[in-house]
Amino acid sequence: MLSRVADSLFWMSRYIERAENNARIADVNLQLLLDLTNQPDSDPRQQWNPIISSLEENELFASLYSEPDGRAAIDFVSLQQRNANSIYACLAHARENARTTREQISSEMWEQVNRLYLFVQSNDARELLGSSPYEFFRRVMAGSHLFQGITHATMTHGEGFHFMRIGRLLERADCTSRLLDLKYHILLPSGERVGGNVDTIQWMSVLKSCSALEAYRKIYVDQVAPWKVAEFLITHDAFPRSIRFSVDSLDQALHSISGSDEARYANEAERLSGRLRSDLDYVTTGEIFKFGLHEYLESIQKRLIEINHATYEAYCAHPRTA
Amino acid sequence: MSDFFSGYQVGEFFDEMFAAPDSVRPHYSKLLGRFKEMARDDFERKRALAATTFLTQGITFTVYNDDQGTERIFPFDLVPRIIPAQEWDRVERGLVQRITALNLFLHDIYHNQNILRDGTIPKSIVWEAAHFRPEFMHFDVPGNVYIHICGTDLIRDRAGNYLVLEDNARCPSGVSYVLENRQAMKRVFPTLLGEYRVRPVEDYSQELLNVLRFVAPQGKSEPTVVLLTPGTYNSAYFEHSFLARSMGIEIVEGRDLVAQGGKVFMRTTKGLKQVDVIYRRINDDFLDPQVFRKDSGLGVPGLVEAYRNGSISLANAIGTGVADDKVVYHFVPKMIRYYLGEDPILPNVPTYLASVKEDLAYILEHIPELVIKAANESGGYGMLVGTQATQAECDDFRERVRQNPRNYIAQPVVPLSRAPAFCDEKMQGRHVDLRPYILYGEKVTIIPGGLTRVALTAGSLVVNSSQGGGSKDTWIIDEAETA
What domains can you pick out in chain B, each with its CATH number? 354-413 (3.30.1490.270)
| Least confident span in A51-65, A116-130, B65-79 | B65-79
Rounded CA separation B13/B11 (Å): 5
Contact A318 B267 (CB under 8 A): yes
Average pLDDT, chain B: 90
Residue A211, sorted as left (phi over 0), alpha (psi -120 to 50) or beta, turns out to be: left
| Least confident span in A177-181, B108-112, B326-330 | A177-181
Give the DSSP H or E segment for B305: helix B303-308
Residue B69 is predicted with a pLDDT of 45
Q: Which residues contact A139 (CB under 8 A, 6 or more apart)?
A: A119, A128
Distance, in angstroms, between A285 CA and closest chain B CA? 39
Q: What is B53-64 written as a DSSP string?
A: HHHHTT-EEE-S
Instruction: Using an 8 Å CB-CB cutoff, list chain A residues near B265.
Output: 322
Rounded CA separation B482/A50 (Å): 72
A2, A103, A118: residue with CB nearest B241? A103
Residue B387 is predicted with a pLDDT of 86
In tens, the pLDDT along A112-170 reads 999 999 999 999 999 999 999 999 999 999 999 999 999 999 999 999 999 999 999 99
CA A161 to chain centroid: 19
Using a CB–CB cutoff of 8 Å, tell me whether B356 touches chain A. Answer: no
Backbone angles phi, psi at A85, to 5 degrees: -115, 15
Q: What is the 3 state secondary structure string of chain A?
A: CEHHHHHHHHHHHHHHHHHHHHHHHHHHHHHHHHHHCCCCCCCHHHHHHHHHHHCCCHHHHHHHCCCCCHHHHHHHHHCCCCCCCCHHHHHHHHHHHHHCCCCCCCHHHHHHHHHHHHHHCCHHHHHHHHHCHHHHHHHHHHHHHHHHHHHHHHCCCCHHHHHHHHHHHHHHHHHHHHHHHHHHHCCCCCCCCCCCHHHHHHHHHHHHHCCCHHHHHHHCCCCCCHHHHHHHHHHCCCCCCCHHHHHHHHHHHHHHHHCCCCCCCCCHHHHHHHHHHHHHHHCCHHHHHHHCHHHHHHHHHHHHHHHHHHHHHHHCCCCCCC
Rounded percentage of chain A residues whose pLDDT exceeds 70: 91
In tens, the pLDDT along B176-231 reads 999 999 999 998 888 888 888 899 999 999 999 999 999 999 888 899 999 999 98
pLDDT: which is higher, A179 or B84: B84
Mean of pLDDT values over A203-223: 87
Instruction: Using an 8 Å CB-CB cutoff, list chain A residues near B230.
Output: none
ipTM of the complex: 0.79
Residue A181 is predicted with a pLDDT of 85
pLDDT band for position A246 (cuts 50, 70, 90): very high
Backbone angles phi, psi at A148, to 5 degrees: -65, -40
Q: Which residues contact B262 (CB under 8 A, 6 or more apart)?
A: B302, B305, B306, B309, B311
Domain extents for chain A?
Answer: 1-155, 159-322
| Segment 172-231 of chain B within 8 Å of chain A by CB | none
Residue B227 is predicted with a pLDDT of 97
Residue B480 is predicted with a pLDDT of 60
pLDDT band for position A70 (cuts 50, 70, 90): confident
In tens, the pLDDT along B312-345 reads 999 999 999 999 899 999 999 999 999 999 999 9
Nearest one of A73, A80, A76, A75 to A44, comparing CA atoms: A73
Rounded CA separation B345/B271 (Å): 52
CA–CA–CA angle B256, B260, B264 (5° rounding): 50
Count of C-beta atoms within a 10 Å radius of residue B171: 21
| Least confident span in B135-149, B283-297, B399-413 | B283-297
Q: b vs e for B109-134, b when ≥16 Cβ sit within 10 Å of the residue's Cβ?
A: bbeeeebbeeeebeeebbeebebbbe
A111, A318, A319: residue with CB nearest B56? A111
Residue B183: strand, helix, or coil:
helix
pLDDT band for position B66 (cuts 50, 70, 90): very low
CB B126 within 8 A of CB B406: no
In tens, the pLDDT along A252-284 reads 999 999 999 999 999 999 999 999 999 999 999
Rounded CA separation A116/B410 (Å): 49
Residue A321 is predicted with a pLDDT of 46
Interface list for chain A against chain B, based on CB atoms closer than 8 Å: 1-6, 96, 99-100, 102-103, 107, 110-111, 114-115, 118, 159, 257, 315-316, 318-322
Distance, in angstroms, between B415 CA and closest chain A CA? 40
Contact B267 A99 (CB under 8 A): no
| Segment 236-275 of chain B within 8 Å of chain A by CB | 237, 241-242, 244-245, 248-253, 255-256, 258, 260-261, 265-272
Residue B469 is predicted with a pLDDT of 87
Rounded CA separation A93/A12 (Å): 7
Residue A223 is predicted with a pLDDT of 79
Residue B340 has what DSSP assignment?
I
Instruction: Using an 8 Å CB-CB cutoff, list chain B residues near A5.
Output: 250
Contact B56 A320 (CB under 8 A): no
Residue B232 is predicted with a pLDDT of 84
Instruction: Using an 8 Å CB-CB cutoff, list chain B residues near A318.
Output: 255, 258, 267
CB A316 within 8 A of CB A207: no
Rounded percentage of chain B residues whose pLDDT exceeds 90: 70
> Choosing among A1, A3, A117, A155, which should be mutated to test the B contact, i.e. which has the most B CBs within 10 A?
A3
Mean of pLDDT values over B33-45: 91
**A190 pLDDT higher than 70:** no
A102, A111, A159: residue with CB nearest B269? A159
Residue A284 Cα distances to A73, A312, B351, angstroms: 36, 31, 85
Contact A111 B271 (CB under 8 A): no
Backbone angles phi, psi at B372, to 5 degrees: -105, 135
Instruction: Using an 8 Å CB-CB cutoff, list chain B residues near A4.
Output: 253, 255-256, 267
B58, B242, B256: residue with CB nearest A4? B256
Distance, in angstroms, between B230 CA and closest chain A CA? 11
Residue A226 is predicted with a pLDDT of 84
Residue B450: strand, helix, or coil:
coil
Highest mean pLDDT among B49-58, B425-434, B458-467: B425-434
Nearest one of B477, B476, B483, B479 to B452, comparing CA atoms: B476
Rounded CA separation A117/A69 (Å): 26
Residue B2 is predicted with a pLDDT of 61
**B20 pLDDT higher than 50:** yes
Rounded percentage of chain A residues whose pLDDT exceeds 90: 63
B248, B253, B260: residue with CB nearest A322? B260
